[in-house]
C-alpha cells in the first residue's frame, strides 16, 4: 500500500502573504514582482477587516493581508500579482492614485492581447459613474471600483490595492481568469446569497469574454509587461 504524505509547502495564498510581508520588512533596494496561481481557495481580507476574522467559518482558509481594500477570493480562477518598489522609485512617487495607472494599464494590455476588451478605469470615468456602480458590495474588493482598476464590458475583471511604508511600496492585484464562485467567500464570512449574486452580476472573467482564453499565456504576457515597465523606470541613485 502506498502512503501519501501531506505537503509541507504552505498554500500559495499563504506564501503570497509571507512574500509580501518580507518585501517591506526592510528597505526595498530594487523593484521586484511575483505572479501567483492558487491551487486551493482562500479568502484574503484587507488590513482594516480584522473584525471579519471572527465571523469566518466553513472549510475555506481566511487570511489577513497588509494592503487595504476589501476581501478577495483567491483560487484557481484568479491570477495574483505583487510588485515591490523602493520608496524613491518613479512609479512609487506618483502618489496614491496615480501609482496604480501603469499597473492597471499593463493588466488591461495583457488581457486585450488575449482577446478580452479590457480598459483601465481612469479617475474621470469613475467620477462620472453613479454611486451604485462604484460600490455594489462594500466589503469585497471586487464589489467596488477604484481608479485604474480594470473593466471589461463595464464589469470588473481586475482589482488593485497597495500598502506604503518608509521601506517601500507594495502594489497587489488580482485578475479573474475564470468565473469566481462568489458564494464560497460569502458563506465563509457569513454573508448572504444576495451579495454573491451581486458580485456575479458586476464582475466578469476573461474566459467568459474570449473563447479558449489561455490563462498561462496571459500570465506570461503580464510578467513581460511588468518587467518592461520596471526596467524602463530605473530607480534614481
Residue 55: its pLDDT value, please?
Answer: 79
Q: What is the DSSP string of the chain?
A: -PPPPPP-SPPHHHHHHHHHHHHHSS---S-EEEEEE-SS-EEEE-TT-GGGGGG--SSSEEEE-SS-S-BEEESTTEEEEEEEE-TT-TTTTT-TTGGGHHHHHHHHHHHHTTT--EEE--HHHHHTS-HHHHBSSTTBGGGB--TT-EEETTEEEEEEEEEEETTEEEEEEEEESS---HHHHHHHTT--HHHHHHHHHHB--HHHHSTT--HHHHHHHHHHHHHHHHHHSPPP-
34-71 pLDDT, tens digit per residue, is: 999 999 999 999 989 988 887 787 789 999 998 888 99
pTM for this structure?
Answer: 0.91
Residue 57: its pLDDT value, please?
Answer: 78
**Lowest-confidence segment of 21-35, 43-57, 68-82, 92-106 by average pLDDT:** 43-57
pLDDT band at 14 (very low <50, low <70, confident <90, very high): very high
Mean confidence (pLDDT) of the chain: 91
Residue 235: its pLDDT value, please?
Answer: 43
Amino acid at each position: 500500500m502506498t502512503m501519501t504524505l501531506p505537503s509541507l509547502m504552505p498554500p500559495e495564498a499563504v506564501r503570497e502573504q509571507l512574500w509580501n510581508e518580507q518585501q517591506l520588512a526592510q528597505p526595498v533596494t530594487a523593484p521586484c514582482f511575483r505572479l501567483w496561481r492558487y491551487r486551493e481557495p482562500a479568502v484574503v481580507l484587507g488590513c482594516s477587516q480584522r473584525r471579519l476574522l471572527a465571523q469566518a467559518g466553513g472549510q475555506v482558509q481566511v487570511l489577513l493581508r497588509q494592503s487595504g481594500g476589501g476581501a478577495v477570493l483567491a483560487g484557481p480562477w484568479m491570477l495574483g500579482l505583487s510588485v515591490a518598489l523602493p520608496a524613491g522609485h518613479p512609479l512609487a512617487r506618483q502618489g496614491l492614485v496615480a501609482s496604480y495607472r501603469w499597473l492597471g494599464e499593463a493588466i488591461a494590455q495583457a488581457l486585450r492581447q488575449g482577446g478580452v476588451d479590457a480598459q483601465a478605469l481612469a479617475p474621470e470615468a469613475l467620477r462620472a459613474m453613479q454611486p451604485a456602480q462604484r460600490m455594489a458590495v462594500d466589503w469585497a474588493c471586487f464589489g467596488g471600483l477604484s481608479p485604474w482598476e480594470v473593466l471589461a464590458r463595464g464589469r470588473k475583471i481586475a482589482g488593485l490595492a497597495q500598502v506604503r511604508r518608509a521601506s517601500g511600496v507594495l502594489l497587489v492585484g488580482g485578475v479573474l481568469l475564470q468565473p469566481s464562485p462568489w458564494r464560497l467567500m460569502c458563506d465563509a464570512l457569513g454573508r448572504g446569497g444576495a451579495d454573491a449574486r451581486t458580485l456575479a452580476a458586476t464582475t466578469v472573467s476573461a474566459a467568459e469574454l474570449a473563447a479558449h482564453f489561455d490563462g498561462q499565456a496571459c500570465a506570461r504576457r503580464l510578467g513581460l509587461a511588468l518587467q518592461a515597465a520596471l526596467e524602463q523606470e530605473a530607480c534614481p541613485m
